[in-house]
Amino acid sequence: MSSALRFDVITVFPEVFEPVFAAGVVGRAIARGLLELHAHDLRAHTHDRHRQVDDVPYGGGPGMVLKPEPLFEAIEEVRAQNRGPVILLEPWGEPFTQRLARELAAEAGLVLVCGRYEGIDDRVRESLADREVSIGDYVLSGGELPAMVLIDAVARLVPGVLGAEESLAGDSFAADLLGHPQYTRPAEFRGLRVPEVLLSGNHREIEAWRQAQARRRTLARAGTPQQGEKR
Ligand code: ADE
């Protein structure tokens, strides 16, 4: 089967990806050959004694900017093995939504570039980036956490990654609705009871209750942007 989705991440902290994706759904999918994850050390693409990946900004100002040469070299090298879109993780990028996750899950590969410091030399964006993606309206200190969020959300949409028991059918967003409340045993805990309908064994009623609850949650969020909606 050659439908594995390949993620290549370019970062100054390649070591942070391994422990996060060693476990859980993504880790299992990698072990089963459904996903490939390669984290590349940007510093490996420096050729000076200090292995410098950043420099002061032209025009002055605080902070450091990621230099173009290591990024160009890293991206071009990765592109030889991964022809998927080059995505920069940036706070001003297009909003990451379930819709975008679905779109990206259809690719054979994704090349994710994590910014750091005050930013990256804009010639990288101009010449090599296919798109820029933001995971939300807040500023993080780098693109590593956003890349992990994107990888997780996209990976679980790849066919076969979720087992039958976790299938997407009842998933949040599967029917463009948010999820319904879930309960497990015991039926009563500290006086708090599981809704009677869930104990009834009546699957039609249970499904109707879940649909109604999911609709209620979705409507309660109507004031905040829904997936794919413009902000
Ligand atoms: N880098 C810093 N903040 C970010 C965000 N919110 N989304 C994507 N990349 C980022």
CATH assignment at residue 217: 1.10.1270.20
* CA-closest residue to ligand 1 atom 7: 134
Whether residues 144 and 95 share a domain: the answer is yes
Decide whether any atom of ligand 1 lies within 6 Å of the 91 Cβ: yes
Give the Cβ contact number of residue 211 at 10 Å.
13
Residue 166, domain member (yes or no):
no
Whether residues 34 and 79 share a domain: the answer is yes
Whether residues 186 and 83 share a domain: the answer is no
> Domains in the chain: how many in total?
2
Residue 231, domain member (yes or no):
no
Residue 168, domain member (yes or no):
no
To the query of whether residue 195 is one of the catalytic residues in this protein, the response is no
* Selected catalytic residue, list 6, 116, 156, 210: 156
Contact between residue 104 and residue 158 where contact means Cβ atoms under 8 Å apart? no
pLDDT computed for residue 177 by the predictor: 77
The fraction of the chain above a pLDDT of 90, given in percent, is: 86
CA angle 84, 89, 91 (to 5 degrees): 150
Query: Ligand 1, closest atom to CA 136?
Result: 6
The two tokens of residue 104 are 């990206």
Query: Ligand 1, closest atom to CA 138?
Result: 6
Decide whether any atom of ligand 1 lies within 6 Å of the 139 Cβ: yes
Residue 226, domain member (yes or no):
no
Whether residues 114 and 13 share a domain: the answer is yes
Whether residues 206 and 99 share a domain: the answer is no
Distance 142 CA to ligand 1 centre (A): 7
pTM above 0.85, yes or no: yes
What φ, ψ does residue 196 adopt, rounded to 5°?
Answer: -55, -40
Give the tens place of pLDDT for each residue, 118-167: 899 999 999 999 999 999 999 999 999 999 999 999 999 999 999 875 66
Whether residues 103 and 45 share a domain: the answer is yes
pLDDT computed for residue 138 by the predictor: 96
Whether residues 34 and 144 share a domain: the answer is yes
Whether residues 135 and 203 share a domain: the answer is no
Decide whether any atom of ligand 1 lies within 6 Å of the 143 Cβ: yes
Sheet with strand 65-66: strands edge to edge: 54-55, 65-66, 119-120
Residue 169, domain member (yes or no):
no
What φ, ψ does residue 207 adopt, rounded to 5°?
Answer: -60, -40
- CA 227 – CA 62 distance, rounded (Å): 36
What φ, ψ does residue 101 adopt, rounded to 5°?
Answer: -60, -45
| Residues counted in the chain | 231
Question: Which pairs with CB-CB distance under 8 Å and at least 24 residues apart come from 171-177?
Answer: 173/98, 173/227, 175/214, 176/218, 176/227, 177/211, 177/214, 177/215, 177/217, 177/218
**DSSP β-bridge partners for residue 95:** 134
Decide whether any atom of ligand 1 lies within 6 Å of the 113 Cβ: no
SS (H, E, C) 152-188: HHHHCCCCCCCCHHHCHHHCCCCCCCCCCCCCCCCCE
pLDDT computed for residue 52 by the predictor: 97
Range of the structural domain that residue 206 is part of: 177-221
pLDDT computed for residue 178 by the predictor: 86
Closest CA to 211 of 219, 200, 199: 219
Q: What is the pLDDT along the chain (231 residues), one digit of tens a residue?
A: 457 999 999 999 999 999 999 999 999 999 999 999 999 999 999 999 999 999 999 999 999 999 999 999 999 999 999 999 999 999 999 999 999 999 999 999 999 999 987 899 999 999 999 999 999 999 999 999 999 999 999 999 999 999 875 666 555 555 567 899 999 999 999 999 999 999 999 999 999 999 999 999 999 987 655 444 444
Pairing of strands 131-134, 86-95: parallel
